[in-house]
Structure 1
Amino acid sequence: MADELELLRGANPVPVDGPRFGDGPLDHHAERHLDRLLHERTTTAVPRRRTRLAWGLAATAVVAALVSALLFTGQTTGPAVAAPRPLVVQADSSPVPLKQLAERAERAAADNSPALRKGTHVQAWSLAMSGRKPPVTLPIERIVRWNADDSHTEIVVATDPRHPGRPVLTDEDGGPRPVEDGHVLSRQTYPPSWSDAPPHSPPPTDVARLRAYLQETAYSKTALTTGELLDAVASLLDTWTLGARESATLVQLLADTEELRPLGQVTDRLGRRGQAYVLDRPDSRKMLIMEPATGAVLGLETTFKKAEPEYGVKAGDVMSYSAWMR
């Protein structure tokens, strides 16, 4: 498919440094190139394209999807749709041990501000593989707000802060397609919930009790591994926005595991500076990003360490990423 991609790049009316966005009107030059792309090569390109592309769309729809993906990402090289690159640790930064971060968090929590709040605001990226090559990265934003009567609303929209205002790929109808930035994927209101089981009950501010709380969150009868603990933390942060005291307790708990290795400073996908802590396993790496002064969790990234050719996944591809906000 290299020849088709080269033609796409040549016909791209919005290069990286161009004045127009991908969803803006095409000029006459771009219209001529796009018309040539869609019509002059139909006879020779359709049979080969149908055998190679996993989405199984008609030839012109495939071309349109690839053009859209190129324009939406602002890329003129590399694959049209692919996993985002993993976060990179700043080369000259100094790692901060978790025990030192726990001390900072304890001092920051002295006035117990900010306070714990039920509800969450998170940006998330996930890799949709399901037999597609290459897999598709689906970015969303989710906001959950709880009401005084214990009912809550959840809004999920398709958006990618790396490319504000540009169309976004979604998989809501069982196949990848572009939607406008901010397109509402779901909006639901749930009746009052009277559950007091974790993660619905408030997280404790004692390390031993928080460990038991996260174990119950994970529905486990045995002590959690560090990887399982990080997954349970993600479930907690998808329900609660931690206050200063809760964050300090969580940092202390993570410091006690002694398996998370400090790497140094990173800039997350929302442009925030944080300290990175990694857990390496044979097949994957989990990177926890934490605010360097308060210990608040900013994000959690999981990457592949081994290629999965049957899914079109390369070593280093991002499997999932969450960025939590207040």
Structure 2
Amino acid sequence: MADELELLRRANPVPADSPGLGDGPLDPRAEEGLRRLLDEDRPRRRVRPLPALPGRTPRARFVWGLAATVVVLVIAVNAVLGGPSTQRAVAAPRPLTVHAHSKPVPLKELVALADAAAADGSPGLRKGTHVQTWSLSMSDDEQPVMLPEERVVRWRADATHTELVVATDPNRPGRPVLTDEGDDPHEVADGHVISRTTYPPMWNDAPPEGTPPHTAAGLRAYLTEVARPQVDRGTAPLSTEELFDAVGELLDHWTLGARESAALVRLFARAEGLRPAGDVTDRLGRPGHAYVYDTGRVRHMLILEPRTGAVLGIEDTFTKAVPEFGVRAGAVMEYRAWMR
């Protein structure tokens, strides 16, 4: 604040000891001071927060409307990649396509399959996550690009945990990767370690850090607390959009077991507007059943494992163009792929 006040004083065309307060033109020194002040006040870059880690304050949850979409990331791409002849590091990928002639599988049918797969209780629930993400970066004067990143969080028996974040794109093995690490986004080698952190023991029973239940009713209450952490939760059921957001938060903290996945499929089966679309192959080459939910500007695609109902990934795609950011209809806004 002190620096800003000093810049304002220097930009003032009327000296503090002037006998009058009349308006006058800015001299060159004042014009330069005012320009610096405006430049410092203007946000250069807005970054979408990483998913919250166990033991940290939960990240702000996005309502995937147009305004929140624009805040995903803003990067000065020209400064990152050099002049106009420099080849872009990562182009926005095409959205996943449903296999031709594949038969959509209703979620009610998948509920029965997931229940059967969970009969013996394996695999079990595990705290921690392994997720690959692709996030769209937008600028008002450059074409959008994708920022791919892999994150692994592992917990130990003594309640300590480690987090490894790597810049990598499985779709382009060995190719340079664009990262927003540090103040100046830049290209790095595939597999570049962005951060490697070990955290001391910590315990938290509140969702999403607390252990998720393995019944549909219990999981619904748990996800409601995730989606509405600081408001009157009321009795209204979760909207489909809230459910998607809460599930993403859950999977950024836990690797679900068979019983938890089966309970989650039951919640999806009751979600309004979520419809089966057919079979897909996800971005990691895994077969899955696709289920789609449209919000008007964004299409959410949920990919479930065909035998167990485990969540493989969620893809968010623009259904309408955003020309001021060079985004075309059909551009992928974000894709998250969870692994065991």
Q: TM-score, normalised by structure 1?
A: 0.76
Query: Is contact 1:136-1:176 (8 Å) kept?
Result: no
Match 2:222 to one of 204, 213, 231: 213
- Aligned-pair CA distance for 1:91: 1.1
Match 1:255 to one of 262, 269, 276: 269
Query: Is contact 1:135-1:311 (8 Å) kept?
Result: yes
- Aligned-pair CA distance for 1:175: 4.3
Does residue 267 in structure 1 map to residue 267 in structure 2? Answer: no
Match 1:61 to one of 78, 82, 99: 82
Aligned residues: 261
Query: Is contact 1:153-1:188 (8 Å) kept?
Result: yes
Offset from partner CA, 1:45-77 (integer Å, 9 cap, x none): xxxxxxxx964549x93256x23x3xx6xxxxx
Query: Is contact 2:78-2:142 (8 Å) kept?
Result: no
Specify the code of the residue in structure 2 equivalent to 1:182. Answer: G
User: Partner of 1:92: helix, strand, or coil?
Assistant: coil
User: Partner of 2:210: helix, strand, or coil?
Assistant: coil
Structure 1 distance, partners of 2:164, 2:322, is 33
Offset from partner CA, 1:128-157 (integer Å, 9 cap, x none): 224352122000000000111212111100
Match 1:246 to one of 248, 251, 260: 260
Match 2:120 to one of 111, 116, 121: 111
Specify the code of the residue in structure 2 equivalent to 1:309. Answer: P
- Aligned-pair CA distance for 1:82: 3.2
Q: Which residue of 1 aligns with 2:211?
A: 202
The 1:186/1:110 distance shift into structure 2, 3 A limit, reads same
Does residue 145 in structure 1 map to residue 154 in structure 2? Answer: yes
User: Partner of 1:270: helix, strand, or coil?
Assistant: coil
Q: Which residue of 2 aligns with 1:87?
A: 96
Structure 2 distance, partners of 1:251, 1:241, is 15
Q: Which residue of 1 aligns with 2:7?
A: none
Does residue 124 in structure 1 map to residue 133 in structure 2? Answer: yes
* C-alpha RMSD of matched pairs (Å): 1.9
Does residue 167 in structure 1 map to residue 201 in structure 2? Answer: no
- Aligned-pair CA distance for 1:106: 0.1
Offset from partner CA, 1:269-295 (integer Å, 9 cap, x none): 000000000001111000000001100
Q: TM-score, normalised by structure 2?
A: 0.73
Match 1:298 to one of 312, 326, 329: 312
Structure 1 distance, partners of 2:300, 2:183, is 28
Residues 27-38 of structure 1 correspond to what in structure 2 (within 5 A)? none
- By percentage of residues, which structure has more helix? 1
User: Partner of 1:62: helix, strand, or coil?
Assistant: coil
Offset from partner CA, 1:165-185 (integer Å, 9 cap, x none): 111111223444210010011
Specify the code of the residue in structure 2 equivalent to 1:185. Answer: I
Offset from partner CA, 1:241-297 (integer Å, 9 cap, x none): 000000000001110124210000000000000000000111100000000110000
The 1:120/1:57 distance shift into structure 2, 3 A limit, reads closer
Match 1:313 to one of 302, 327, 331: 327
Query: Is contact 1:82-1:134 (8 Å) kept?
Result: no
- Aligned-pair CA distance for 1:192: 1.6
Structure 1 distance, partners of 2:331, 2:184, is 21
Structure 2 distance, partners of 1:130, 1:225, is 31
- Aligned-pair CA distance for 1:187: 1.2
Residues 222-237 of structure 1 correspond to what in structure 2 (within 5 A)? 222=234, 223-237=237-251
Larger radius of gyration between Structure 1 and Structure 2? 2
User: Partner of 2:241: helix, strand, or coil?
Assistant: helix
**Please, which runs of 5 or more residues in structure 2 have no aligned partner?**
1-74
**Please, which runs of 5 or more residues in structure 1 have no aligned partner?**
1-52, 73-80
| Percent identity for Structure 1 against Structure 2 | 62
Does residue 98 in structure 1 map to residue 107 in structure 2? Answer: yes
